[in-house]
């Protein structure tokens, strides 16, 4: 049975029994404690914990999940996978143990012809918590299981909680006996390879208190509403129903593995190390495909770093197998074909997915070429000196200069038998991060409210009554004034604090739009609004500076958004949508926004594209945007369900989380249709103008376009006009002739530079002959020292020219210094044969600061007045060799 069929059969089984089918949430999650959804229950967490009322009494889903805590184990064992799918059924205060067990048993053992999986009931074992006699009795009664196949286990295995105070309860796990060839008899307590767990039923019926670990915390009592949360590993069920040894051999992963083996000319099962690499490739390519499909972009932080690491591990593994050409164009298409039956979006969005993946591979291949050479040299030096650990500073250099992540340095160093000073690396990274944080604090100071204090306000007063879409002013009441240490009784003139209001007209920064500016005022105070954020879902927090008087909780305030600021913000946000649509019109549908930022007068938009945009293409994009403004396209807002929005072609940001109803902003109907929570103009002409200012790279396969809009757009164009006018006046040329006139000037400058270089070379040759003729014998070595008026390039040219003019057969060494405190040392062939080494000489001349080859080396760092004395040491150094 194909994995896609196992998936649909699961959903059909529960849909026919009254469950609402809930689509998988995107892998990126808004939960601040997680980067990605890592369990099937994560999207249902607010309903299971009672934070929100569930919209359905019972639900079912197949949730995409990614876990990367044990990424190094992927491939080394056959039980670890980064990406997996979790089939689940959920009850929110509806049915409980008996129905949950009956539903699981029916699907597991019912014949395939009747919609079940057809598992042999005599090979199914279950585990229950040792205290849960109720579940034991249900398994005996509903499934007819004999006592010996119902195994009692303790808290570590069969009692569930989230690790913090809240819901908890016993669980019951289903195992399938795969036969004596895979291990010992005796059930899951004896061998969990032979007896594979495939379903876990969690019975949330208690509330737990504070306490560490999986046991030892107090049970505070029964929950008012008992819930069911189950999880069946889709890949595990596929392993059973397809009669495979492990998850790497099922229909969604084995084709990727086989293609990698074919490319590398190896056979799976022939070599244990090759098998590990092949499993890494199969897992990571599939994981990368699904992360890219859900909008994650390779980067250096957070989710982007996880994706980049996964892609790079897969690329390295293929190269280690012996395939040196680009591999992702061969492998990602196979992964697409494996996953498209369950997730059609991977085929529909494949052009965008492939573009980002292939760009990342191209960039990483270049990184490998540069960084591997540096790493190999550093490792060789460590070994030559008898060491076993690569210094942390070297690992940091690889990370900071060559883009080598520390995990890659650790892996590659370990392959050569060398450890890495991880503590030294971490110290340098922490120092760098602290500098960045200090810089950020210097740019934006202010009080930061404690999350617990914010949560207390939200729990006591409920969500903020947010009016930004329809109002610029509100009459509001101060719910709390918070400082960095928590609630304050009042805030006086000069203080920067966080203010929570019962209602507000201020837009909180989100969706790429900057927060509003404005004022809070009352009978005895005035405050400037500096920033507005949503620190918790539903709660709007205002960072303000008290400019007069005193502000206290309970005060009545007049909250007023600066109308000019809001107008500029609306122009910029609508301008972002217009520019996005114009990009897609000119470049095609793969130019999909992957990040944006806008504030009054300015916008930027990131999009995947390989290679820069030519001036002509930039002009086409700008013209397409301004044509929309000239046509004065209407801007409208509609509310609909997410499936309806997708059906109508609305574009969504993948890392956003949307509710049952979504807000769709349209400009010209289908021309621009996006899910958006920002503020917008009413018609496109109100944007004024869109003037593209820059376009450039912000990473592998990612471009950024920036534009000025509204009055700032007109000001930008006016400045450009004035600049062209001044240049035309200085060159005394009509504006239309400026490109040709400037090109002519540049040609003449280049010709003059070439002539100057030719004259300098002639002068160098003449001086080199003179200096070589004046060489001094020191211990049988001809020595020349000199200074160059220019920089290191001129010194290098002079040193090599003098060296090449020394008499054949005579050992020679030349040192040339610069006014900037640098020096170059050159040694001829006879000098090398006599034991001279240029790199060693330059280090001794410059107190260890320098390096290079035995024939030519350079260094720097001396004070200018010390250069002559340093050069004067050369005769002594060669004589003492």
Three-state SS at 235:
helix
Cβ proximity of 683 and 633 under 8 Å? yes
* ∠ CA 797-798-801, rounded to 5°: 85
Q: How far is residue 343's CA from residue 294's CA, in Å, rounded to a whole number? A: 11
3-state secondary structure of 800: helix
Strands 195-208, 518-521: pairing kind = unpaired
Contact 88, 291 (CB under 8 A): no
Beta bridge partners of 825: 815, 857
User: Distance between CA atoms of 278 and 258, rounded to whole angstroms?
Assistant: 8
- Torsional sign, CA 481, 487, 493, 497: negative
Its sign, for the CA torsion 765, 769, 772, 774, is negative
Q: d(Cα 424, Cα 432) in Å, to the nearest integer?
A: 13
User: CB–CB of 35/302 below 8 Å?
Assistant: yes
Residue 605 Ramachandran class (φ > 0 left, ψ -120 to 50 alpha, else beta): beta
Tokens, residue 436:
């960045």
Cα separation, 117 vs 13, whole angstroms: 10
**H helix or E strand, kind and range, residue 725:** helix 710-731
Residues 288, 336: Cα–Cα separation, whole Å:
11
Binding-site residues sit at: 573, 577, 676, 680
List of long-range contacts for 385-388, beta carbons under 8 Å, 24+ apart: 388/417, 388/418, 388/419
Q: How many helices (H) and strands (E) are present in the chain, helices listed first? A: 26, 34
User: Which residues are 634's β-sheet partners?
Assistant: 683
Distance between CA 873 and CA 876 in Å, rounded?
Answer: 6
- Residues marked as binding for Zn(2+)? 573, 577, 676, 680
| Sheet with 635-641: strands ordered across | 635-641, 661-667, 672-675
Residues 6+ apart with CB under 8 A from 628: 578, 581, 582, 667, 668, 671, 672, 684
Helix (H) or strand (E) segment spanning residue 756: helix 738-773
Longest dimension (CA), the chain: 107
- Beta partners for residue 598, in sequence order: 513, 603
Phi, psi of 823 (to 5 degrees): -150, 150
658: Cα separation from own chain's centroid = 21
d(CA 821, CA 788): 11
Distance CA 568, CA 52 (A): 36
Strand 602-608's sheet: what is its strand order? 595-599, 602-608, 702-709, 690-699
Shortest CA distance to 826 belongs to which of 836, 814, 812?
814
Cβ-Cβ contacts under 8 Å for 826 (sequence gap 6 or more): 799, 800, 802, 803, 813, 814, 838, 855, 856
d(CA 54, CA 691): 47
- Closest by Cα among 295, 283, 290, 280 to 336: 290
Query: What is the Cα–Cα distance from 380 to 418, expressed in whole angstroms?
Result: 10
Give the integer Cα–Cα distance in Å for 758 and 754. 6
């Amino acid at each position: 049975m194909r994995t896609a069929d196992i998936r649909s059969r699961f959903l059909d089984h529960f849909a026919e029994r009254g469950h609402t089918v809930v689509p998988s949430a995107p892998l990126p999650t808004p939960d601040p404690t997680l980067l990605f959804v890592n369990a099937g229950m994560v999207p249902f967490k607010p309903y299971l914990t009672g934070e929100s009322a569930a919209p359905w009494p019972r639900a079912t889903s197949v949730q995409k999940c990614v876990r990367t805590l044990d990424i190094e184990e992927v491939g080394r064992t056959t039980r670890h996978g980064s990406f997996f799918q979790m089939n689940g059924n959920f009850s929110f205060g509806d049915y409980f143990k008996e129905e949950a067990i009956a539903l699981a048993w029916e699907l597991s053992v019912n014949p395939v012809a009747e919609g079940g999986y057809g598992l042999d009931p005599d090979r199914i074992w279950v585990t229950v918590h040792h205290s849960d006699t109720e579940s034991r009795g249900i398994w005996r009664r509903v499934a007819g299981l004999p006592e010996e196949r119902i195994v009692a286990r303790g808290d570590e295995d069969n009692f569930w909680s989230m690790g913090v105070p809240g819901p908890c309860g016993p669980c019951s796990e289903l195992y399938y006996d795969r036969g004596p060839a895979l291990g010992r008899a005796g059930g899951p307590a004896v061998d969990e390879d032979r007896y594979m767990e495939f379903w876990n039923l969690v019975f949330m019926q208690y509330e737990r208190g504070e306490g560490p670990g999986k046991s030892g915390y107090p049970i505070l009592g029964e929950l008012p509403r008992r819930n069911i949360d189950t999880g069946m590993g889709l890949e595990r069920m596929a392993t059973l129903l397809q009669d495979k040894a492990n998850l790497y051999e099922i229909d969604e992963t084995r084709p990727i593995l086989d293609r990698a083996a074919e490319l590398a000319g190896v056979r799976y099962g022939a070599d244990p190390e090759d098998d590990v690499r092949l499993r890494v490739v199969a897992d990571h390519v599939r994981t990368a495909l699904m992360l890219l499909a859900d909008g994650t972009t390779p980067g250096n932080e957070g989710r982007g770093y996880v994706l980049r690491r996964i892609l790079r591990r897969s690329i390295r593994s293929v190269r280690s197998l012996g395939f040196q050409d680009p591999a992702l164009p061969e492998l990602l298409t196979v992964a697409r074909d494996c996953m498209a039956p369950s997730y059609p979006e991977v085929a529909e969005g494949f052009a965008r997915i492939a573009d980002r993946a292939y760009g990342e591979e191209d960039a990483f291949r270049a990184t490998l070429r540069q960084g591997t050479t540096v790493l190999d040299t550093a490792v060789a030096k460590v070994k030559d000196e008898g060491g076993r650990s690569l210094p942390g500073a070297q690992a940091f250099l690889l990370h900071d200069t060559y883009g080598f992540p520390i995990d890659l340095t650790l892996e590659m160093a370990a392959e050569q038998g060398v450890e890495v000073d991880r503590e030294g690396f971490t110290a340098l990274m922490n120092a760098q991060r602290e500098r960045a944080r200090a810089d950020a604090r210097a740019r934006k100071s202010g009080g930061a409210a404690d999350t617990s204090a914010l949560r207390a306000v939200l729990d006591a007063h409920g969500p903020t009554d947010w009016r930004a879409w329809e109002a610029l002013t509100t009459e509001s009441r101060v719910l709390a004034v918070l400082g960095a240490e928590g609630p304050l009784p009042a805030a006086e003139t000069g203080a920067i604090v966080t203010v929570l209001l019962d209602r507000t007209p201020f837009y909180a920064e989100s969706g790429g739009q900057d927060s509003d500016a404005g004022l809070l005022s009352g009978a005895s105070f005035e405050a400037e609004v500096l920033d507005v954020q949503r620190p918790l879902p539903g709660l709007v927090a205002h960072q303000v500076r008290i400019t007069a008087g005193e502000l206290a909780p309970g005060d009545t305030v007049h909250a007023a958004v600066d109308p000019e600021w809001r107008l500029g913000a609306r122009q910029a946000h609508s301008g972002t949508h217009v520019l996005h649509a114009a990009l897609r019109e000119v470049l095609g549908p793969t130019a999909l926004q992957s990040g944006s930022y806008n504030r009054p007068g300015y916008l930027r938009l990131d999009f995947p594209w390989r290679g820069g945009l030519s001036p002509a293409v930039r002009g086409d994009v700008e013209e397409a945007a301004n044509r929309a403004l000239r046509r004065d396209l209407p801007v409208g807002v509609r509310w609909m369900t997410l499936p309806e929005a997708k059906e109508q072609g609305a574009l969504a940001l993948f890392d956003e989380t949307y509710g049952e109803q979504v807000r769709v902003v349209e400009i010209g109907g289908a021309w621009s249709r996006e899910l958006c929570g920002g503020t917008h103009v009413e018609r496109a002409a109100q944007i004024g103008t869109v003037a593209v200012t820059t376009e450039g790279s912000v990473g592998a396969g990612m471009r950024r376009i920036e534009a000025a809009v509204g009055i700032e757009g007109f000001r930008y164009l006016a400045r450009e006009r004035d600049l062209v006018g001044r240049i035309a006046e200085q060159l005394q040329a009509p504006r239309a002739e400026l490109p040709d006139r400037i090109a002519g000037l540049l040609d003449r400058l280049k010709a003059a530079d070439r002539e100057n270089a030719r004259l300098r070379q002639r002068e160098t040759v003449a001086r080199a002959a003179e200096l070589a003729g004046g060489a001094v014998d020191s211990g049988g070595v001809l020595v020349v020292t000199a200074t160059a008026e220019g920089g290191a390039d001129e010194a290098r040219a002079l040193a090599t020219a003098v060296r090449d003019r020394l008499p054949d057969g005579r050992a020679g060494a030349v040192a040339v210094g610069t006014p900037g405190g640098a020096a170059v040392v050159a040694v001829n062939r006879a000098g090398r044969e006599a034991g001279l080494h240029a790199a060693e000489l330059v280090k001794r001349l410059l107190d260890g600061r320098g390096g290079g080859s035995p024939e030519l080396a350079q260094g720097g760092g001396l004070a200018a007045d010390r250069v002559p004395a340093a050069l004067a040491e050369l005769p002594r150094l060669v004589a003492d060799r």
